[in-house]
Amino acid sequence: MKLNIENEEISLKIPATIANIVCGFDILGMAVNEPFDDIKIKISEKPGIQIKHTDPYGLPEDPKKNVAGVALQAMMNEMDEPPGFSISIHKNILPGSGLGSSGASALGTVAAANILLGKPFSHEQLIRFAMEGERAASGTAHADNVAPCLYGGITLISSEPALQINTLPYPELFVVILHPQIEVKTSDSRKIIKKEIQLKTAVRQWGYIAGLVAGFCKKDIELIRRSLNDVVFEPARSLLIPKFKELKSAAIGAEALGGGISGSGPAVFMLCDQMSVAENVEEKMNEIYTKSGIDFKTYLTTIKSTPLL
């Protein structure tokens, strides 16, 4: 592969993502405008990968133990003579938040490196490299964070028999996120999921997924509202999130369309069709956590409609 190094240094803002969007476990995801990480990458005289974190989260800087390093190494394995890379990462998307932190590091790094090198790799290749980072982080190479992170908007992903990513149309929506400042590792949150479910439960769940996808495509707010349900994963995973039921019922009481666990949690998100409703929902969720004494952060944001590249 011939590399055409066009840029000295690339800086990118990498969006948080909400995987699953309630019912679409491992197949639906959306990018949001807040929070986001900052990634800078440049070619280094030293061979190999150097990673520096400028945030306070103590993530490993050894490239073999850092998802950004793992993803970039997967990309470098496809080059005949890869240059050395020096990466600086400042995370605002907390590790273990359920907001696609590992996906942002992995995808952001390979996307920035691709620009630096004159874009030799396709979007699909970038997704595959980033999925190696996800495999290192959670044991599963899921794409429902890295795909929306790259493409923006809402993405529908299927991986059998081949990886297929479709971006969906959607109506204007406001996204309220409450992030309890506790860490839930995706690998742990995947272990508690039932490995088998009854057919009638599966039928309900795929009805919700189909309804949600149709609701986004038709910009049908009522169909979206009726479809934001999860009868498979939420019952187990929500036990890891303090006050989950209260948050959800207060948000729906305040006229959120619905919502649930963001990715594998602990962040909880709610979709709203109006800014004034979203403000009210944020306030209600805020009240519950303020009383609980658990440290938390909220965001009122929108779907990030623009692709990363």
Q: Is 186 a catalytic residue?
A: yes
Q: Which residue has the tokens 């995706």?
A: 186
Q: Is 172 a catalytic residue?
A: no
Could you give the CA distance from residue 22 to residue 261 in angstroms, rounded to a whole number?
A: 6
Q: Choose, from 134, 155, 282, 301, the residue flagged as catalytic.
A: 134
Nearer to ligand HSE, 259 or 263 (CB): 263
* Residues near ligand HSE, by CB under 6 A: 19-20, 25-26, 100, 142, 144-145, 186, 190, 263-264
Shortest separation between residue 133's beta carbon and ligand HSE, angstroms: 12
Shortest separation between residue 302's beta carbon and ligand HSE, angstroms: 20
Shortest separation between residue 115's beta carbon and ligand HSE, angstroms: 25
Nearer to ligand HSE, 66 or 101 (CB): 101
Q: Which amino acid is at 98?
A: G
What beta strand segments (E) does the chain contain?
Answer: 9-19, 28-44, 49-53, 84-90, 154-158, 164-168, 174-180, 258-261, 268-272, 296-302
Of all residues in the shown chain, the one whose CB is closest to ligand HSE is 263
Q: Which amino acid is at 237?
A: R
Shortest separation between residue 134's beta carbon and ligand HSE, angstroms: 8
Nearer to ligand HSE, 116 or 154 (CB): 154
Residues 8-31, buried b or exposed e (16+ Cβ, 10 A)? eebebebbbbbbbbbbbbbbbbbb
Q: Choose, from 17, 109, 155, 186, the residue flagged as catalytic.
A: 186
Residue 273: other Cβ atoms inside 10 A: 17
Nearer to ligand HSE, 230 or 282 (CB): 230
Shortest separation between residue 292's beta carbon and ligand HSE, angstroms: 24
Contact 167, 154 (CB under 8 A): yes
Contact 57, 93 (CB under 8 A): no
Nearer to ligand HSE, 109 or 264 (CB): 264
Looking at the annotation, which residues are catalytic?
134, 186
